[in-house]
Structure 1
């Protein structure tokens, strides 16, 4: 079950997110997890705490319908007595999930009854979604129930006593709320809102509606200077598949790169291969390399790490990494490596000691065991597991695969044992990891399965990383609904799988129209701090997705449209190795084929288009750090406007496969100052990118 306990409050009567308690009986169950859309439907973020026969977990949520259920250590699902349920997929089966109505029905009733609802006028100055420092600006946001507030001004006082009034733009309306935004060019000491309600104007201050006391923020989250990770251009490398420059460190029994589809196994790529191919990335225009795990591991993908403080010898050594960092930095390219704090290989040395000492080992509490001690294991399981360890965890014995692991795992595989992030020594272990690798000069970390790790653990990793400077970043892997995570506070950014999934639904599967697509993209933008939105790791492909060229059935026109959108929209575009030359591949592991280095086999049309997009993004700073507005034009067409000061970059995109299509847009539709009543856009390629400056309103420059 669940209960709404309260709402966050700022001042006396300004409300924020709902405080929600989820609870269920846990008699006879060792451990339960809360699973929902706000955990990407993976257990781990919220461990249920036991009090007698009841286990509960608390979280803070905005209004919404949230499917939820409870899962034990073996992924068995526990239903509660909530009568409101839906059927959904979980892992390999269909289950019944309960529905938590967090404020939605009350919100609907408020809309239906009309009038004014001051408790739905929201601004929380301690939340960077509503107040954030962004380079030379301070961004201020407020939201109110739809159509209840006509207009909003901010009266801002700087530290010298100067007073200015800023009008807030209503930049987005969803099913329930109007969203307002403005920015202040000077520093901000205190401020208050004036709300135009149509029949009167009222103040909205520290204590909320009709209060005249100014809001005085104690701390404003954000970044006062431009930094490389806002709007940068990433390139994702899967090291084993990229390039083999050193045959001396090749693994035995390599697989052939000629085998299609690619099987699991080593191809032999290494760090020297990345060093040797830096020139390819420089020529393309890449600004940051993100590499999947490089640590000692029994597998070719290395997500089952057996030593977090060494580099897999099949890839090279620490000196190779240092040389890679040095060469990359000489070319102004940053290096991000993959940290896997959710799970490890059972062949990690701490687990080996546990097998010797059992529960007496100091490391017993470092992992999540289902049994109480090793003596509970039957002899066959003991022997099979010993065989697994002796063979360096490279292959799970067939009979062992038929049994359930005696420890918590990532998605049920014996190869990956889950860390216990409730244990302080585990937190310290990963803080030590951060210190070790950051001291070598890397520029940041990507956190694997971040949606399955408690928030406090991610926060500790982030704090440790930031001791090396604000230019060091933490990228979270979040597979679903990034707006329900503490982005901007306990990390800066995440992989934007929400954009990826919505783009597939709009452009490829055509499950949604442009109105729904824009609404989804606006939801992300409006519910994240501006510096986070402009830093999101945007993708059309990764080591976890089928190749985009295969997904779109080699439709180059559509691929160019989607990549152009990726480079125009808020966030940081990324390229999965080989996607820039039109590589093909299905799901894992076929999406990890050997990189093609024979240029005669490259798709030059794709390659040259991506190079043009990179040059465009580097030329116009508005595309890197500008604000964003999105407008649906019709069911198939949308406009993305990026703007900064007097400049606007306008991207127009359609999924209609019509070669001779001209689109007529009124300037008022996209809110630009253009002296004519309309302008005509050539959309025969499916996209068009334009530049407009308010100082020269008649000129519209075609960029692409």
Structure 2
């Protein structure tokens, strides 16, 4: 919208379009059931932003002299900058959001865009580097007219200090990503260690917050997950399967759903390869199936996780996601060979179905046994007409048909 080096918070960057086009887009998307979250950069501006430009011209006589952290006068930009800047990049001077005028300006930016466009929330860039008092005021401004607006902060470590109900609603869950990368892409952790990593994050935040965490595998700041898997489609889709079956909100970085690769920035920011978004693309097929299954499964949306078995020797993992009314069992084979996984039957049903395939698994002596191909994931549910209907929708979605009830 404004880009990381913002020159005008009231104007969409011309390379992206016009203000009216953005406003129209948000309303059009809303009609199609898609909500718009803006990416807000409040920690820093560009050196061409009006406040900093005035500061460069007028020095300590500028009305904006307290908007930034200037160490001496006159301001130097080209060589040896004498002001605080994000990560030391001279083109992004850091804003003093403790200063009332700077704080009020940024809050007005938020209110103005919320009044003009259909905004469902904000993703906050380098949010851990901004004063907490600003985020408290920000939350009040965002929630004033609509309590349901979502506030998502960028932080790479534990976000607990910001998730106590007075600042953000959610955070980018890089801890989830790290766990999946180590277990799936790199194969460096055991099933027990992987489960432990997931549960430490889950219990650290608590169930209510965990349900709102943004679970990602890739972002504009990391190598793409497919590349970390060295192009192995089975590994990459196993990671996606865990992303869609774990508690929290799956976040798909553009192109992941078609298998795009990319190393470190800027390689991970290649243009979208639209020609690969075909019904024949196995990545797109599986992402459609996973997204449909999650949308139709209350257990996967909000069910609590519980461990059934972590087998480190076989590199398999079995866990349950359950609500009062529904439960599913997720079976993972991280090994590179077939594994037969035996699971205690939780209910009275004598048969289970895999919601991601055509398999039916019978129960014998209170145990269900399923053969898992290498690098695969299954989602098992007690066989019933309702679950068969869910599976039918999943299969149709995989084929490119829209079939949500």
Give the TM-score normalised by the residue count of structure 1: 0.50
Deviation of 1:522 (Å): 0.9
Deviation of 1:487 (Å): 4.4
Q: For residues 161-240 of structure 1, what are the structure 2 equivalents within 5 Å?
A: none
* Residue 678 (1) aligns with residue 367 (2): yes
Q: CA RMSD in A?
A: 2.3
**1:458 partner SS:** helix
Deviation of 1:701 (Å): 11
* Residue 481 (1) aligns with residue 158 (2): yes
- Out of 358, 361, 365, the residue aligned to residue 62 of structure 2 is 361
Deviation of 1:512 (Å): 2.1
Shift in CA distance, 330/610, structure 1 to aligned 2, threshold 3 Å? same
Deviation of 1:597 (Å): 1.7
Q: Tell me if the contact between 2:39 and 2:125 (Cα under 8 Å) persists in the aligned partners.
A: yes
**1:538 partner SS:** strand
* Residue 646 (1) aligns with residue 328 (2): no
Deviations 1:396-435 (Å, cap 9, x if unpaired)? Answer: xxxx3xx432111111111111111221222212211110
Distance 2:189 2:280 in 1: 30
Q: For residues 519-668 of structure 1, what are the structure 2 equivalents within 5 Å?
A: 519-599=196-276, 604-635=281-312, 636-658=315-337, 660-667=338-345
Deviation of 1:460 (Å): 1.3
Q: For residues 209-288 of structure 1, what are the structure 2 equivalents within 5 Å?
A: none
* Residue 410 (1) aligns with residue 89 (2): no
Number of equivalences? 371
**2:15 partner SS:** coil
Higher helix share: 2
Shift in CA distance, 420/623, structure 1 to aligned 2, threshold 3 Å? same
Distance 2:173 2:44 in 1: 22
Deviation of 1:656 (Å): 0.6
Q: Name the structure 2 match of 1:687.
A: 377
Q: Tell me if the contact between 1:649 and 1:689 (Cα under 8 Å) persists in the aligned partners.
A: yes
Distance 1:630 1:446 in 2: 32
**2:335 partner SS:** coil
Consecutive unaligned residues of structure 2, counting only runs of 5 or more, are 350-364, 395-405
Deviations 1:187-237 (Å, cap 9, x if unpaired)? Answer: xxxxxxxxxxxxxxxxxxxxxxxxxxxxxxxxxxxxxxxxxxxxxxxxxxx
Q: Tell me if the contact between 1:482 and 1:498 (Cα under 8 Å) persists in the aligned partners.
A: no
Higher strand share: 1
Distance 2:389 2:344 in 1: 17
Q: Tell me if the contact between 1:690 and 1:701 (Cα under 8 Å) persists in the aligned partners.
A: no
Q: Tell me if the contact between 1:483 and 1:524 (Cα under 8 Å) persists in the aligned partners.
A: no
* Residue 305 (1) aligns with residue 27 (2): no
Distance 2:329 2:26 in 1: 36
Shift in CA distance, 692/420, structure 1 to aligned 2, threshold 3 Å? farther
The answer to which of 407-416 and 506-515 deviates more is: 506-515
Deviation of 1:605 (Å): 0.6
Distance 2:145 2:208 in 1: 20
Deviations 1:608-634 (Å, cap 9, x if unpaired)? Answer: 000001111111122222222245511
Shift in CA distance, 616/460, structure 1 to aligned 2, threshold 3 Å? same
* Residue 327 (1) aligns with residue 3 (2): no
Q: Tell me if the contact between 2:221 and 2:264 (Cα under 8 Å) persists in the aligned partners.
A: yes
Q: Tell me if the contact between 2:333 and 2:373 (Cα under 8 Å) persists in the aligned partners.
A: no
State which structure, 1 or 2, has the greater radius of gyration over its C-alpha atoms: 1
Shift in CA distance, 404/516, structure 1 to aligned 2, threshold 3 Å? farther
Distance 1:639 1:438 in 2: 44
